[in-house]
Every structure is written in C-alpha cells, then in structure tokens.
Amino acid sequence: MNLPARSIIALCAVTACASLAFSQRVITTAPVPAPPVVPEASEDTTPIPAGFPRYNVVPIGAGIEARGLSDTGYVTGAMVTDTGKKHAFLWKDGTLTDLGTLYSDDSYGSGVNDAGEVVGVSTAINKTMDDGTVQEARHPFLYKNGKMTDISGKELNTEGGDTWQPFDINNRGMAVGKMTQNGVGMPAVSWLRGRLTSLGTLGGYMATAYACSDRGGIVGASYVAGNNAPRTGEESAFLYRSGRMTELGTLGGKSSTALDVNNLGDVVGFSQLYPLTAQTNRAFLVKRGKMSDLGTFGGDSSTANGINDAGQIVGCAQTTKQNVVYFLYQNGVKVDLQRLVSRASGWNLSASDSSGTGPLGSILINNRGQIVCQARKADKGRGAVLLVPVSSDTGAAAAP
C-alpha cells in the first residue's frame, strides 16, 4: 500500500527500458539511546475502546520520508544523502538501502510490494537550453533484483516532455499512476510488464491513479465531464475495476480524492464537505458503494490515507484547537494514534508538521496492522518510524 503524499500532506497541514546496475550503499540502523521526554498530551481524553492495539516504535531514520509500505514490512520513500540529495530507499528490519538514481541526483520511491519491488521517480537532465538553464525530466523506475530500470515505455516521447509517474505497485507487479504529455495531464494509467494502459477518465481531461489492490482495484481522482480546463476543485474520487471507472461522488462538496483501496474493494480518501468551502475536507470511507464521513477530533478537516483488509483506517484529523494529529479508525471508532504509544517511550507522532510532495507518504498501514508515519524524539530529530502492534488493550509501547 502506498500513500499519495504531496497534496495530501498539504491537506493534513491545514485540513527504452534501460536496465541499469548501480552501486548500493547498505546502512544498518541501530537504536541510539536518548533520555526519555514526555510527548505532547492528546486533546482526546475519552476512554479508548476495547480491542485497540498498542504499539512499539521502531525508528527508520531521521530526515526520512516514507511513501510506501508492504505487508512484509518493506518501506520505501525518500532519504537525504550525505551530499544533501534525495534518493529512493528500501528499508526492512533495520537495514536501510540507498537505491541510487537512474541518471542524476534525485529520486524517490512511491510504492513497494511484498517482494521488495519498488516503483518511483528519478529526475534527469533532459536538455540544456541556449541560455544555459537546465530542463529536467522525471523518469519512472522499477527497482527489482538489485537493479533500477527506466520504465518510461516506448509509447512516450521523453525528449518531447512526455512522462508518467507511478504511485503504487501490487504483488502482481502492476503499477498505477498518472501521465503527462508536454506538461498537460492525461488519463490515469497502469503499467504491467513493460506496457502502459490508459484507464480513461470520468469524462474530463485528466485523471490520477494513486493506489491499487492485489485484486485489481484501482483508485484515484478524475476531472468530471464538462470540466475540460484545469480548474481547482472539480475532481471526483473513482474506483476502477474490471475495465470500468466508477465515480464515487462526494460528501456534499464538488471534489473528492480516493487514496487507498483494500482487497475487499473498500475505499478511503477525502472529500470537500461544502460546495463553497474549499478548506473543509473530510476523511471518507466508501463501503458497498456508500460514502461515510469519518469526522474529525472537533476541528474542521480530516483525510483518510490508508486502509487494510481488516478495515483499519489511518489518516490525519484536526482537533478542537486546530492541531493536526494521526488517527486509527476501527469498528466505527477513531482514536488519536498518539494515545496508543506509551508516553514513556518519548516519541511524538508529528502529523502537524508533515511535509512531502504529492499523494504519497504521511501515514500508511499494512495487513499486519503495522503503521508507518512521521515522529520526533528529543535530540534525534524528525523522521519515519514503524509502529508495530504488540497487543490489544494493554501492553507497553516502548521505544527500542
């Protein structure tokens, strides 16, 4: 499962194929002892219902942004190198591997499957203009068996500015994302074994696919019929399966975006709540075709970023004081995720200062109930962590 991180995280803060071998730098991350500090207390003081898990916190690394999480515990995203560049990475069980780049300095991973196959984007210098300025192009990649491969596809004129950007990959090896031609958005696409397939739109000029399930469900957002110019706020969430794109509607506003889908076909994302209030968005769950508002913690906005097959949902929500916190939703109840981590661990789960560049990364959940999010601890800075469930109802969630 993946998470569109960029526009989503902004919401949370408010509301060819050339196969290239490259050298990898493998770094083993080890816990660094630090004096415990008292995390910020949650504004939510209602009793935690029975059945909610407690979590141990496993640090992935400072300055790391996580954008993809598999059921086998692989994590991918972007790390900062010693030279200050951003590189895609693959992490599992304490080992962090720098995946390098295709052609130049920057890359990031956006999705990973159970086999550790990663899709993402690597930037490259496309051409140097007469005035000396450099034009960069984004090249999609697949990392598999220790190699990063350019999967731009024969269909694309990369020198002419055509490209596509993958956001997720499932266990069949199918990736999904968006395509642009000469900088203009096009229909959503899927990729499988070297072939790009258009998924179409809901009648508008462009669509983006953000996530896919192992059973072939694909979700995202599309401009709707009659909207053939790039105007803000006229997109609808969609579910694509069996060759058909279905509009999921909104919670009353004029736009919505689907961010994740599980193998049962349940969909989560966010929707504008009122037609004239662009900043009021609410997390939603679509189950059996019905869209439900998951609410907030007393604030205005929320978003649901991930869902697993057990129906557990993670996302961000504003509190009464307009702070933004992570939540876990299960069995019809939402709990501030900070409350499920021991205060003695010293970890603050820091949804309020999430950052990123697209629909991929703030908080994710897999089918083992593991969660990837951002956190900070005294003298360790802010970075990605893996929350590992240790029990239901009781259990110490201590930092390793």
DSSP output for 12-27 = HHH----EE----EEE
For residues 210 and 169, give the distance between their C-alpha atoms in angstroms, rounded to a whole number: 10
- CA distances in angstroms from 361 to 66, 114, 148, listed in the order given: 5, 18, 21
Phi-psi group of 131: left, alpha or beta (phi > 0 → left; psi -120 to 50 → alpha; rest → beta): alpha
Q: What is the pLDDT of residue 166?
A: 97
Closest CA to 88 of 22, 17, 164: 22
Q: What is the pLDDT of residue 358?
A: 31
Residue 73 token pair: 């515990």
Helix (H, G, I), strand (E, B) or coil at 345: helix
The DSSP code for 253 is S
For residues 354 and 383, give the distance between their C-alpha atoms in angstroms, rounded to a whole number: 10
End-to-end Cα distance, the chain: 25
Model confidence pLDDT, tens digit, residues 122-171: 987 665 556 666 566 788 999 999 999 999 865 555 555 568 999 999 99
Which amino acid, residue 400?
Answer: P
Query: Helices marked H in the chain — which ranges?
Result: 6-14
- CA distances in angstroms from 34 to 345, 377, 378, listed in the order given: 10, 8, 7
For residues 100 and 107, give the distance between their C-alpha atoms in angstroms, rounded to a whole number: 7
**Pair 149, 157: CB distance under 8 Å:** no
Strand order in the sheet with 65-69: 25-28, 95-100, 86-92, 75-80, 65-69
Tell me which of 160 and 1 has the higher pLDDT.
Answer: 1
Closest CA to 326 of 39, 38, 94, 24: 39
Q: Is the pLDDT of residue 17 over 60?
A: no
In the chain, the percentage of residues whose pLDDT exceeds 90 is 62
Q: What is the pLDDT of residue 161?
A: 56
Q: What is the pLDDT of residue 129?
A: 53
Q: Which fold has domain 6-27+49-392?
A: Methylamine Dehydrogenase; Chain H (2.130.10)
86-95, 197-206, 352-361: which has the minimum mean pLDDT?
352-361
> 359 falls in which pLDDT band (50, 70, 90)?
very low
For residues 213 and 211, give the distance between their C-alpha atoms in angstroms, rounded to a whole number: 7
Tell me which of 100 and 132 has the higher pLDDT.
Answer: 100
Q: Is the pLDDT of residue 20 over 50?
A: no
**Pair 186, 201: CB distance under 8 Å:** no
Closest CA to 272 of 293, 297, 242, 299: 293
**Pair 259, 238: CB distance under 8 Å:** no
